[in-house]
């Protein structure tokens, strides 16, 4: 397979940029986009800084190895910009024209709410069971496809007439909803989620007219709004006025939530909100008069209705877990970034829910515009009250009443001293955690002289450092001599994915789960007249196709860029593998450790850089001096017996592997003080000084002014750069009772600034995965419980503190006089 690249790299980038811009100006539903491995795409983007162009497009690293080669499926839990990129059809055509390769992964653009568009990277995957023979199959189609299209695909695949087919929503292998083929509902609106089970029944005696009177059609029972009778009855139950269930008084609020496919992030957030006392009081009563269906920033009240319905179920009698399917359908519809198989950030879904609920329940129908005014020397309390009044004139909901506070923001010009004071609302406080300015990285050093094989070294480098910093640190760790040098490479899928030869390359482009190798050479082995030789390993029993059938770690060396005989190559490979030579064979006889037998020791093939097929190595072999030449050694039992491949050719360590050890411990107060500390604005966030009439890097200082009834702290555990994501596992010591914030609040209006903890959202594990749970306190019992998806269990209060704490929920503790005053009101 040959590539066709008549353009310069600069011309390629210009063409691609223009085509992407053109596609962005002509968005419409149904436009085709193509998924490309981010590894390949970034190597193409960086090719101007590398000595050679990338090879053919290679999407194998993002394709599920278990999927059919004729219908390749993406691995699950991939992230855009990290694992893959999306390009419009015309860009894909150009890249294929220039570089060939594949496989092709085509997706369509779909229209979301408010005429926004997104590419449906993961179409709906449904698991079909045929009731006739219990056979199973997978059906893939868009979540926006109609139920009628689902019937057509299933009936076609199973050879059944549509009139005789009955397709059931088969959630948890139980018939729950009979899907109506004449309905205009989409699969998303029918609450079908990823990996959902559906059941096909065939009625041989069915007439052509479809009977929609079947029992179990729960979709008809989903309320369109909060009903007064249900709200009243449920509220009585939540207050304990029920004699059924758990003896004298039935416990409520202890229902878990089923995981619908990596939805623990959502479940954790929902349990924290469901155990927020003001929300329980509000959503279990009748709130239908508050729903604002006409707010263009809202969701026509559908989100508020879904949350209210879910809270009623969670606070209803019984202990069985609830499947939040109706809610998840609404979440996917209004916030498609949370759909699919990926794990998401629970704080992001919390932010979306609080904002969305506010807009759905905003009592202000017509928002008036009020221009923001500067303080102009007026007293802070006057300005703050004025700004809060303006805010409430546009925003009036239970969310504002319960969750929103106000902070004072002061900007000071570093040149003239001019300052500006504003008072802004907040919904939660995102607190920074102390983090190291360094990064631990593990690199395996391979010795090209054959004296030793490989040794892993873990070094500490600046987090914002360069490849040169890493190379120097590894060189010092392995005792690199003055006449030696290192060649760093990113190894993936048992071959060198790319060589890292740009000293100024940012270390942020090396991810924690990458595997980096440093090949050590004497300087005399590199330079003019030398060619790079890459040795890959494959099993002898495999055929001529190499893709996906390699094993072990590639070996790299430099050879003269002249003709080499088969015996020359054989001797080179033997030298590289000599550290793996077993002293004795399995028979116990001493092995001959010399090289140079008349019969070649290895079966060696040449791997074309732009092909996945192997070609026999010619007797007079000339390596390419401009790029790495790949040779493949096919191992049979003889090689495995002679060389210890299992110990040294496997288990290449990742750059960084997170451990459960706790590095340090800080207090919640120190995190809050860091949040409130004065600091200069970033270079991309300059302030236009009204006195200087110039953009200045002003100093910014925050102060708390007004605190809400419910105060949420988001501990900023996740750090993001373009290529690097990391988690800070610092233990934050937070008060459970008597969190006193009075010294941090500048407004001395006499309110209580004492808080108690009532819920925690926890995150366990590392980035891009992990698991979320919640701790919540049942106020009437004064007991804590752990909510781990569908499992609910009591937990002792001292155990709720851990390094996993991610989002903390506090409620204000009022004095007796304040409480009695509120009761009178």
φ, ψ dihedrals at 217, nearest 5°: -75, 85
- Give dist(CA 326, CA 5) in Å, integer: 51
Q: What is the percentage of the chain residues whose pLDDT exceeds 90?
A: 36
pLDDT tens, residue by residue, 746-800: 887 778 899 999 999 999 887 656 889 999 999 888 999 999 999 999 999 999 9
The residues, any chain, with a CB within 8 Å of residue 404's CB and separated by 6 or more, are: 395, 425, 426, 427, 708
Task: Tell whether the model's pLDDT for residue 558 goes beyond 50.
Answer: yes
The span from the CA of 72 to the CA of 441, in Å, is 34
- Residue 57 has a CB neighbour count (10 Å cut-off) of 22
Cross-strand bridge partners of residue 440? 460
Which conformational region is residue 5 in: left (phi greater than 0), alpha (psi within -120 to 50 degrees), or beta?
A: beta
pLDDT digits (tens, 9 = 90+) for 143-182: 888 899 999 999 988 888 888 999 999 888 888 889 998 8
In the structure, what pLDDT confidence band is assigned to residue 585 with cuts at 50, 70 and 90?
very low
Whether the per-residue pLDDT at 822 is higher than 90: the answer is no
Stretch 543-562: mean pLDDT, rounded? 74
Residue 599: is its pLDDT beyond 60?
no
pLDDT number for residue 759: 97
Q: Which of 375-389, 415-429, 620-634 has the lowest mean pLDDT?
A: 620-634
**Tokens standing for residue 24:** 């962005």
Active-site choice (191, 264, 403, 671): 264
If you ran DSSP here, which 8-state letter would residue 553 be given?
E
With cut-offs at 50, 70 and 90, classify the pLDDT of residue 593. Answer: very low
Average pLDDT, the chain: 82
Q: Tokens standing for 339?
A: 């759909």
Across 564-578, average pLDDT: 82
- 8 A C-beta contact, residue 602 and residue 570: yes
Report the range of poorest mean pLDDT among 5-19, 340-354, 636-650: 636-650
pLDDT at position 47: 67
Look up 264 and say whether it is catalytic: yes
Task: Name which of 216, 227, 191, 232 is nearest 305 in CA terms.
Answer: 227
| pLDDT number for residue 769 | 64
Q: What is the pLDDT of residue 85?
A: 93
- Distance set, CA 708 to CA 8, 279, 347 (Å): 59, 14, 18
Q: What is the pLDDT of residue 643?
A: 80
* Catalytic annotation present for 771: yes
Q: Please, which pLDDT band fits residue 438 given cuts at 50, 70 and 90?
A: confident
Confidence label for 245 from pLDDT (cuts 50, 70 and 90): very low
pLDDT at residue 815 is higher than 50: yes
* pLDDT computed for residue 239 by the predictor: 40
Domains and CATH numbers, the chain: 9-120 (3.30.2230.10), 124-202 (3.10.20.90), 263-361 (no CATH), 438-581+601-642 (3.10.20.90)
pLDDT of residue 377: 76
Express each pLDDT in 71-106 by its tens digit. 888 988 788 888 899 999 999 999 999 989 989 999
Band the pLDDT of 114: cuts 50, 70, 90: low
Model confidence over 195-213: pLDDT tens digits?
889 999 998 776 544 444 3
Q: Is this model's pTM higher than 0.75 or not?
A: no
Work out the percent of the chain whose per-residue pLDDT is above 70: 83
3-state SS assignment for residue 36: strand
């Amino acid at each position: 397979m040959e590539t066709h690249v008549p353009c310069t790299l600069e011309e390629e980038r210009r063409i691609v940029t223009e085509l992407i811009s053109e596609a962005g100006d002509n968005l419409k539903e149904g436009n085709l986009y193509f998924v490309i491995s981010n590894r390949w795409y970034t190597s193409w983007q960086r090719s101007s800084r590398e000595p050679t162009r990338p090879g053919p497009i290679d999407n194998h690293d993002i394709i599920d190895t278990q999927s059919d080669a004729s219908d390749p499926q993406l691995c699950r839990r991939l992230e855009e910009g990290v694992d893959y990129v999306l390009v419009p059809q015309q860009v894909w055509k150009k890249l294929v024209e220039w570089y060939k390769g594949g496989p092709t992964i085509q997706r369509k653009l779909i229209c979301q709410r408010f005429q926004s568009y997104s590419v449906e990277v993961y179409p709906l995957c449904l698991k079909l069971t045929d009731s006739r023979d219990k056979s199973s199959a997978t059906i893939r189609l868009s979540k926006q496809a109609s139920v009628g299209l689902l019937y057509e695909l299933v009936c076609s695949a199973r050879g059944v007439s549509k009139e005789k087919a009955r397709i059931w929503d088969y959630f948890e292998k139980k018939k729950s909803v009979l899907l109506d083929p004449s309905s205009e509902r989409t699969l998303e609106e029918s609450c079908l989620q990823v990996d959902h089970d559906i059941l096909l029944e065939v009625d041989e005696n069915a007439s052509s007219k479809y009977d929609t009177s079947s029992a179990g059609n729960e979709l008809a029972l989903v309320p369109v709004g909060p009903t007064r009778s249900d709200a009243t009855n449920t509220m009585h139950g939540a207050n304990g006025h029920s004699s059924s269930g758990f003896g004298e008084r039935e416990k409520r609020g202890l229902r878990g939530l089923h995981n619908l496919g990596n939805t623990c992030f959502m479940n954790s957030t929902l349990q924290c909100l469901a155990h927020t006392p003001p929300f329980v009081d509000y959503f279990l009563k009748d709130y239908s008069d508050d729903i604002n269906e006409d707010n263009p920033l809202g969701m026509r009240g559908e989100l508020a209705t879904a949350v209210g319905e879910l809270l009623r179920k969670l606070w209803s009698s019984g202990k069985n877990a609830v499947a939040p399917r109706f809610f998840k359908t609404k979440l996917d519809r209004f916030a498609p970034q949370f759909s699919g198989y990926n794990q998401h950030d629970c704080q992001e879904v919390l932010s979306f829910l609080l904002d969305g609920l506010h807009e759905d329940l905003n009592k202000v129908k017509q928002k008036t515009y009020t221009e923001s005014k500067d303080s102009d020397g007026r007293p802070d309390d006057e300005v703050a009250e004025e700004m809060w009044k303006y805010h409430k004139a546009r925003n009036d909901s239970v969310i504002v009443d319960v969750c929103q506070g106000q902070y004072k923001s002061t900007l000071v010009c570093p040149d003239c001293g001019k300052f500006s004071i504003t008072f802004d609302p907040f919904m939660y406080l995102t607190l920074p955690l102390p983090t190291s300015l360094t990064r631990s990285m593990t690199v395996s050093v391979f010795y090209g002289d054959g004296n030793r094989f490989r040794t892993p070294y873990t070094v500490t480098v600046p987090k914002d450092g360069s490849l040169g910093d890493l190379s120097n640190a590894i060189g010092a760790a392995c005792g690199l001599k003055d006449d030696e040098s290192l060649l760093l490479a990113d190894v993936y899928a048992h071959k060198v994915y790319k060589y890292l030869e740009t000293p100024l390359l940012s270390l942020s482009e090396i991810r924690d789960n990458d595997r980096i190798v440093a090949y050590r050479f004497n300087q005399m082995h590199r330079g003019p007249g030398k060619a790079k030789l890459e040795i890959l390993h494959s099993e002898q029993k495999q055929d001529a196709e190499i893709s996906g059938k390699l094993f072990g770690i590639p070996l790299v060396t430099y050879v003269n860029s002249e003709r080499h005989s088969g015996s020359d190559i054989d001797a080179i490979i033997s030298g590289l593998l000599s550290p793996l030579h077993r002293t004795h064979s399995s028979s116990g006889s001493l092995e001959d450790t010399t090289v140079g037998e008349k019969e070649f020791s290895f079966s060696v093939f040449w791997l074309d850089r732009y092909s996945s097929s192997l070609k026999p190595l010619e007797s007079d072999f000339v390596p390419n001096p401009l790029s790495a030449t790949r040779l493949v050694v096919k191992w049979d039992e003889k090689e495995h017996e002679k060389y210890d491949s299992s110990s040294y050719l496997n288990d290449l360590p990742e750059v960084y592997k997170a451990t459960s050890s706790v590095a340090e411990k800080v207090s919640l107060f120190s995190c809050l003080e860091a949040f409130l500390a004065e600091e200069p604005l970033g270079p991309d966030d300059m302030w236009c000084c009204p006195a200087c009439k110039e953009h200045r890097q002003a100093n910014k200082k925050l102060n708390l002014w007004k605190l809400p009834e419910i105060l949420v702290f988001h501990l900023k555990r996740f750090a993001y750069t373009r290529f690097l994501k990391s988690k800070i596992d610092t233990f934050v010591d937070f008060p459970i009772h008597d969190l006193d914030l009075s010294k941090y609040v500048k407004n001395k209006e006499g309110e209580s600034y004492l808080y108690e903890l009532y819920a925690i959202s926890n995150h366990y594990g590392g980035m891009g995965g992990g698991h979320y749970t919640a701790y919540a306190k049942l106020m009437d019992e004064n007991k804590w419980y752990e909510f781990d998806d569908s499992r609910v269990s009591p937990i002792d209060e001292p155990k709720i503190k851990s390094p996993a704490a991610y989002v903390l929920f506090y409620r204000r503790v009022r004095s007796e006089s304040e409480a009695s005053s509120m009761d009178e009101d």
